[in-house]
């Protein structure tokens, strides 16, 4: 059995904490032993990163960009290797894992443009003989705490931008699928990144809390559940750090009567069940205009039943298992609660078994009609292959349902009306909106983030906001007076320093 540990100062490093098993979700078998870090490991990691940041941030922007370009090429070459690692520990299909890597690659390519991204401003002759100019400098050591559902993509949403801006980056990946982080560490080293600039620190809450308050960690990025995002934001902010903490979601897909129902159903099924529903941008609620609800449910139920659940390495699989036995139990419990609270289970994924993998953590696609906002399955983030159907009278009620929800991460509308789409995108209190696009994750040169209980802190992740988050501005006001000229001291503000 393999042992998974930290990556500190450019090499695999054993830790001082306890061991924890890593499972293959498709079989339920233990496939590795993970070393969980302790506070001493945090001290070692931060010290290494701080020493590296001092020199990395002083390198020319061109040299930093060259490292990013090399990392990009290595990441492309390692796509299949990474996909296999992700599928083995997470359970998602190989195709889905490759797609995750491709979306992370977009951010690497964005970060390759760091010479353009870090350009400052210059104002000549702002006052007589005075020039003013500005630029952005790295923060030093920054940390990223990432979730299990995207063990490659989410670290790539953070690290390339932070590193390109001149920081040293400490990654604390999920304990459930930690191996991908070490593949990324190896690729950074092969790209020529100096030791200590990219660190992997395996751990649990002890490691997280130590990073949140460490005086040498300047900023923390987090993606995960809302309760933990709230804790990360409150703790790190109190310690004087910059924080971007992205929390949970309850994403709605509105289907109006004028929509192409077949097309909308294809999008809803893919967005609700893809990756076994384990993504914060999954459309887990279909908000359907009453006049077409029965017809749409008939189409959805046929597509749900045709969706193939299997192991991630099965080329015919549409989705794999959920991450743990506990997750399976929780998801099935929420389906049962919907039934008990009066909703109708149209397609039931409870008790799903894949032949030959009876110990796997599988949940089949589930479709629930008649869901109301007070139902438990609606109020909680299911994070599984479950699609709720909420019936509404029209667009106004659909917007009201969405805006009453405490989350504000992503949403979508399916319609052929430009007027309805414009009313919707202006009216919903949600950070990311799709119009006939089911999962509106912005491309890398924009930024990702929600509203309300889906985001704590002011900064969205990656893109222009990511550059601003990982740097701070400096402004210089400069004057070179003639040596023979002196006007004596001035004791008041003036619009021109020579007046």
The enclosing H or E element of 11 equals: strand 11-13
Q: Please, are residues 45 and 6 in contact by the beta-carbon 8 Å criterion?
A: yes
Between β-strands 130-138 and 122-127, what pairing exists: parallel, antiparallel or unpaired?
A: antiparallel
DSSP-assigned letters across all residues of 71-112: HHHHHHHTHHHHHHHHHHHH---HHHHHHHHHHHHHHHHHHT
Non-local CB neighbours of 406 within 8 Å, separated by 6+ positions: 250, 452, 453
Half-sphere exposure of 337 (CA within 13 A, CB side): 17
Backbone angles phi, psi at 340, to 5 degrees: -70, -25
C-alpha span between 463 and 443 (Å, rounded): 8
Q: Please, are residues 253 and 428 in contact by the beta-carbon 8 Å criterion?
A: no
Which residue in this structure is represented by tokens 């667009």?
395
Between β-strands 11-13 and 19-23, what pairing exists: parallel, antiparallel or unpaired?
A: unpaired
Q: Which of 78, 212, 256, 280 is catalytic?
A: 280
* Buried b or exposed e, range 356-395, using 16+ CB within 10 angstroms: ebeebbbbbbbbbbbbeeebbbbeebbbbbbbbbbbbeeb
Catalogue the long-range contacts made by 117-123 (C-beta closer than 8 Å, 24 or more residues apart): 117/164, 117/165, 117/464, 117/467, 118/61, 118/165, 118/467, 118/471
Q: Please, are residues 141 and 166 in contact by the beta-carbon 8 Å criterion?
A: no
Q: In what order do the strands lie in the sheet with 219-223?
A: 11-13, 6-8, 198-200, 168-172, 141-145, 219-223, 242-246, 455-456
Which residue in this structure is represented by tokens 């750090």?
241
C-alpha span between 38 and 91 (Å, rounded): 28
**Is 112 annotated in the active site?**
no
Other Cβ atoms within 10 Å of 258 Cβ, number: 13
Q: Is 56 left (phi over 0), alpha (psi -120 to 50) or beta?
A: alpha
- Catalytic residue list: 280
């Amino acid at each position: 059995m393999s042992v998974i540990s930290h990556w500190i100062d450019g090499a695999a490093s054993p830790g001082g904490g306890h061991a924890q098993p890593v499972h293959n979700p498709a079989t339920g078998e233990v496939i590795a032993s993970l070393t969980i870090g302790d506070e001493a490991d945090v001290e070692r990691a931060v010290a290494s990163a701080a020493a590296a940041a001092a020199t990395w941030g002083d390198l020319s922007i061109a040299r930093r960009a060259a490292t990013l370009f090399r990392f990009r090429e290595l990441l492309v070459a390692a796509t299949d290797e990474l996909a296999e690692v992700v599928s083995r520990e997470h359970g998602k299909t190989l195709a889905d894992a490759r797609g995750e890597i491709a979306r992370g690659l977009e951010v690497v390519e964005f970060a390759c443009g760091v010479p353009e991204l870090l350009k400052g401003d210059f104002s000549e002759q702002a006052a007589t003989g005075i020039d003013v100019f500005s630029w952005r400098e790295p923060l030093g050591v920054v940390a990223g705490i990432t979730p299990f559902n995207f063990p490659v993509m989410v670290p790539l949403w953070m690290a390339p931008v932070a590193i390109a801006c001149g920081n040293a980056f400490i990654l604390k990946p999920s304990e459930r699928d930690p191996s991908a982080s070490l593949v990324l560490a190896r690729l950074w080293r092969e790209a020529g990144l100096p030791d200590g600039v990219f660190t992997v620190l395996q751990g649990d809450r002890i490691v997280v809390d130590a990073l949140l308050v460490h005086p040498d960690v300047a900023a923390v990025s987090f993606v995960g559940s809302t309760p933990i995002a709230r804790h990360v934001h409150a703790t790190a902010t109190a310690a004087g750090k910059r924080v971007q903490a992205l929390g949970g979601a309850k994403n709605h897909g509105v289907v109006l009567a004028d929509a192409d129902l077949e097309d909308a159903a294809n999008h809803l099924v893919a967005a609700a069940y893809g990756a076994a529903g384990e993504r914060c941008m999954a459309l887990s609620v279909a908000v359907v205009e009453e006049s077409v609800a029965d017809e749409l449910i008939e189409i959805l139920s046929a597509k749900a039943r045709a969706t193939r659940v299997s192991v991630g390495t099965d080329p015919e699989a549409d989705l794999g298992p959920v991450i743990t036995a506990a997750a399976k139990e929780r998801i099935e419990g929420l389906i049962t609660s919907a039934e008990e609270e009066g909703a109708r289970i149209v397609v039931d994924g409870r008790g799903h078994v894949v032949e030959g993998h009876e110990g796997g953590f599988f949940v089949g696609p589930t479709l629930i009609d008649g869901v109301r906002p007070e139902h438990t399955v609606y109020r909680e983030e299911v994070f599984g292959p479950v699609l709720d159907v909420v019936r509404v009278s029209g667009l106004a009620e659909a917007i009201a349902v969405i805006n009453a929800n405490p989350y504000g991460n992503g949403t979508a509308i399916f319609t052929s009306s430009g007027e309805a789409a414009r009313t919707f995108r202006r009216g919903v209190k949600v950070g990311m909106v799709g119009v006939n696009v089911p999962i509106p994750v912005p491309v890398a040169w924009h930024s990702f983030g929600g509203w309300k209980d889906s985001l704590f802190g002011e900064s969205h992740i990656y893109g222009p906001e990511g550059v601003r988050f990982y740097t701070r501005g400096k402004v210089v006001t400069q004057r070179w007076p003639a040596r023979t000229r002196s006007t004596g001291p001035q004791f008041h503000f003036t619009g021109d320093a020579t007046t």
